Amino acid sequence: MKNHRITFNEFGIPAEVAQHEEIDTSASRVLRPGEVRVAIQYAPINPADINYIQGNYGIRPELPTIPGVESVGIVTESTADTVSESDLVIFISRVGTWQSEVICNAVDLVVIPAIPLQQAAMLKVNPLTALCLLVNFVSLTADDYIIQNASNSGVGQSVIQIAKIMGVKTINLVRREELIPELLELGADHVLLDDANVVEKVKEICGENLPKLGCNAVGGDSALRLMDAIATEAPHVTYGAMSMRSLKVPNKFLIFKRIQLHGLWVTKWLEANDHATISAAYHKLAGWVAEGMLTQSIDKIYPPAEISAALTHAGEGKRSGKILLEFQ
């Protein structure tokens, strides 16, 4: 058998430096106690993966290395009491998931209920980020409003759906008008163009019940519009920087409006919580997926041999969903 894997030996343009390799696994090593062998099924290409290969992510690895922050796999062998053969698993530690087979410790993964494999491959990052945004920074109740930018992203779509489950109303900002109908169909309460008129439109929608949470994945002027639109003392949480522009916060938002500035990196949430808490969060998310209440769109699926084309596609702005790699 062959282990298909993606590696890179230098930082740079992902489509140019990422390489597909085939490794003979006939002499694959024997598992140590507490280890698990997993056959990777699908792995998405996330912005974090692109930044990781570029060398400008929060973690800078020693090279060469195998990228991949999330995936779904099926256990083919286990020496751990908590994991059994045929279990469906996702990884909560960075193990380099862009390869056909992974050997890791049982504590590096979570067993999840049976859900569609392609959706399971995208469970780790976007849905958990959305859940953390909605429950970790402010207590939201039914009919409260929240506002977010980059609403058509994987996190944005997850925020819309989880907020709907919670009974929370969403105001969703997008950069292209053609994105509005699909987000309304997904369950968004309001979808607005992310322009200079946003704040006035939000006030017309909400009246005195201004959004109690702002979720920022863009930065720059878009982040400032969120600050202007949210309620006094509301949290403004940055979890991405798609515009690559830093936040320059006007004093009035801090002095008179007293907004709360926070950052969220789901990697740190995973590091800060015990395995039982993490498992419970993913079981909740997987349950919503199983019930058809939480889904993420997929644009195209590529084999690992076409990694250059896959990375080029993933870097394009106008996509209708995630790019996945299929390893089995």
Please give the Cα distance from 305 to 324 (Å, whole number): 13
Q: Which residue has the higher pLDDT, 59 or 183?
A: 183
For the chain, percent of residues with pLDDT exceeding 70: 99
The pLDDT of 23-27, averaged and rounded, is 70
Give the HSE-up count for residue 178: Cα atoms under 13 Å, Cβ half-sphere: 3
Residue among 57, 239, 282, 302 flagged as catalytic: 57
Determine the pLDDT at residue 245. Answer: 82
**Who wins on pLDDT, 245 or 234?**
234
Banded pLDDT at 1 (limits 50, 70, 90): low
Q: pLDDT by residue (tens digit) across 91-124?
A: 999 999 999 999 999 999 999 999 999 999 999 9
Closest by alpha carbon to 155, among 215, 88, 87?
215
CB atoms within 10 A of CB 32: 9
Contacts of 21 (CB under 8 A, 6+ apart): 4, 5, 6, 7
Which of 47, 270, 45, 235 lies closest to 150 in space, CA to CA?
47
Cα–Cα distances in angstroms (integers) from residue 44 to residues 63, 180, 182, 310, in the given order: 21, 24, 21, 10
Question: Cα–Cα distance between 50 and 11 in angstroms, integer?
Answer: 10
As beta bridge partners, residue 147 has 171, 214
Residue by residue, DSSP assigns 305-318 as GGHHHHHHHHT-S-
State the DSSP H helix or E strand holding residue 270, giving kind and residue range, or none if neither. helix 266-272
Mean pLDDT of 139-147: 96
pLDDT tens readout for residues 287-320: 999 999 999 999 999 999 999 999 999 998 778 8
- Residue 32 identity (one-letter amino acid): R
Residue pLDDT, tens place only, 270-289: 999 999 999 999 999 999 99
| Average pLDDT of span 148-163 | 96
CATH superfamily of domain region 2-122+296-326: Medium-chain alcohol dehydrogenases, catalytic domain (3.90.180.10)
Q: Where are the domains of the chain?
A: 2-122+296-326, 126-266
Q: If we measure between CA atoms, which residue out of 266, 202, 278, 200 comes closest to residue 238? A: 266
**Residues ≥6 apart with Cβ < 8 Å to 297:** 157, 320, 321, 322
- Is a pLDDT exceeding 60 seen at residue 26? no
Would you state the pLDDT for residue 29? 83
Residue 3, token pair as written in the block: 């282990």
Identify the architecture of domain 126-266 in CATH: 3-Layer(aba) Sandwich (3.40)
User: What is the SS3 string spanning 110-178?
Assistant: EECCCCCHHHHHCCCCHHHHHHHHHHCCCCCCCCCEEEECCCCCHHHHHHHHHHHHHCCEEEEEECCHH
Nearest to 145 by CA among 203, 210, 82, 96: 210
Average confidence score pLDDT of the chain: 95
Please report, as a single letter, which amino acid is at residue 177. Answer: E
In angstroms, rounded to a whole number, what is the distance separating the alpha carbons of residues 243 and 221?
9
- The span from the CA of 137 to the CA of 233, in Å, is 12
Do the first three CATH levels of 2-122+296-326 and 126-266 match, i.e. the same topology?
no
Percentage, residues of the chain above pLDDT 90: 90
328 residue type, one letter: Q
Partnered with residue 39 across adjacent β-strands are 74, 101
First-to-last CA distance in the chain?
A: 11
Residue 9 tokens read as 């030996």
Is the four-CA dihedral 69, 72, 74, 78 of positive or negative sign?
positive
Concerning whether 145 is annotated as a catalytic residue, the answer is: no
